[in-house]
Amino acid sequence: MIIIMLGAPGTGKGTVGSLLAQKLNIPHISSGEIFRSYIERDDEIGKQAKAYVSEGKLVPDEVTIKILEKRLNEPDTQNGCILDGYPRTEGQAESLDRLLKEQNRKVKVAVNLSLSDDEIVDRIIKRRTCQNPDCREIYNLDFKKPNVENICDKCGSQLMVREDDKEETIRKRLENYHNISENLIDFYKNKDILYTVKLNNESNKVSSDIAKEIEEYLKK
């Protein structure tokens, strides 16, 4: 079962994807984690990725698909996985389909977490992140407050506002997302495998509720 997580920055697709992976007992694979993993291994593909990442450039599609192919051939993906952060473009989605076809697999569903830009900005500027690099737990001042103000519940480290959690940066990231990734929604809609979850900041729904909703949808 291959599941794609779609959604703009701040929709919570990483958290929902991780929770859903636990429920389905399949790995949650984020593009950033894949790159870091192979860069740390320092093999040939890792060195190619590092050359781009170290200069702040996007890793080209041909390198990304090679890394993804290696990851999808690892034993823990035998029963499927959740892909978060890939594909980012229609071209990448087509490359992924070709790769999965070679492996006699296909995407079962693309989950789109939909939230308005203004609500995303409101949500992200209230986000706080644990500054401990080994923890990085994320909180929100509205719906996931730490037990002690500005202190991480898990490790006791200070919480911080990341540079990319400031409004000007968020607006730019959203603009880039709409320019680059929105065609993916139509791509998967046309394949009749898109499932959209409409979110809003007034709802009492938390990430675990959304993960449960998607799990129930998959059973149908």
- Structural domains in the chain? 2-219 (3.40.50.300)
- 13's tokens: 């697709």
- The active-site residue, picked from 36, 126, 173, 205, is 173
C-alpha dihedral sign at 13, 164, 149, 133? positive
CA geometry: angle 91, 95, 96, nearest 5 deg? 115
Three-state DSSP at 52 gives helix
Active-site residue 13, yes or no?
yes
Q: How many other β-carbons are positioned within 10 Å of the β-carbon of residue 133?
A: 7
C-alpha dihedral sign at 134, 139, 144, 146? positive
Active-site residue 36, yes or no?
no
| Residue 183 DSSP label | H
- The active-site residue, picked from 36, 88, 144, 212, is 88
Active-site residue 123, yes or no?
no
- The active-site residue, picked from 70, 162, 189, 212, is 162
pTM more than 0.85: no
The DSSP bridge partners found for residue 128 are 139
The region that residue 156 occupies, defined by phi over 0 for left and psi between -120 and 50 for alpha, beta otherwise, is: left
- The active-site residue, picked from 13, 66, 123, 128, is 13
- pLDDT 10s digit of each residue in the chain, 220 long? 999 999 998 898 988 999 999 999 999 998 878 877 778 777 777 788 788 777 766 678 888 888 888 899 999 999 999 999 899 888 899 999 999 999 999 999 999 999 999 999 998 899 999 999 899 898 989 878 999 999 999 999 999 998 778 888 889 889 988 888 888 999 999 999 999 999 987 776 788 999 999 999 998 8
- The active-site residue, picked from 66, 71, 127, 128, is 127
CA-based radius of gyration for the chain = 18
Active-site residue 105, yes or no?
no
Active-site residue 162, yes or no?
yes
